[in-house]
Amino acid sequence: MNIEHLRSSFQLVAPKAEFLADTFYSTLFERYPGVKPLFKNVKLKQQKGKLVASLAFIVENLENGEKLSGYLQDMGQRHVSYGTEVPHYAAVGECLLVALATTAGEAWSKELEASWAEAYGAVADLMIAGARREKKAS
């Protein structure tokens, strides 16, 4: 995973955060309408802000494994109560890559896609680990 690619591409899309989040959620709901009920009690505008804030935190802490791992495992634990299931993580990853590519436009490349896919895979693994920990505890 190329951390510099992740950081520079995030700096490129961050000023377009609202577009990024709008694209992510519209793609997610279009491709995976079955997830819509998970958002029925959610204020989508706030959720979009949380998405971008989480991405910023992740990119900022790519080299702080302990802090990032704790953050992501805690997030995975919380997502259990929202009804998130393991297959949802792949759907989110797919739609996140679409949103990043759409937002980055011509600056998007195969290298960026590979770096973001690898990073998201690590994020999802840590969140799933947190979710499993939560399910064992309950």
Over residues 103-116, the pLDDT tens digits come to: 999 999 999 999 99
Across 90-104, average pLDDT: 98
**Residue 119 pLDDT class (50, 70, 90 cuts):** very high
Cβ(74)–Cβ(130) under 8 Å?
yes
CA–CA gap between residue 103 and residue 35 (Å, rounded): 23
Q: Is pLDDT above 70 for 138?
A: no
At residue 49's C-alpha, the angle toward residues 89 and 135, to 5°, is 35
Q: Furthest-apart CA pair in the chain: how many Å?
A: 47
Q: Is pLDDT above 90 for 1?
A: no
Residues 6 or more apart in contact with residue 103 via CB below 8 angstroms: 13, 16, 19, 20, 23
Q: Is pLDDT above 80 for 52?
A: yes
Question: Residue 41: its pLDDT value, please?
Answer: 87
**Residue 135 pLDDT class (50, 70, 90 cuts):** low
Question: Residue 59: its pLDDT value, please?
Answer: 97
**Which percentage of the chain shows pLDDT scores above 70?**
97
Question: Residue 38: its pLDDT value, please?
Answer: 92
Q: Mind listing the domains of the chain with CATH numbers?
A: 3-137 (1.10.490.10)
Question: Residue 32: its pLDDT value, please?
Answer: 97
Mean of per-residue pLDDT scores for the chain? 94
Cβ(20)–Cβ(100) under 8 Å?
yes
pTM for this prediction: 0.93
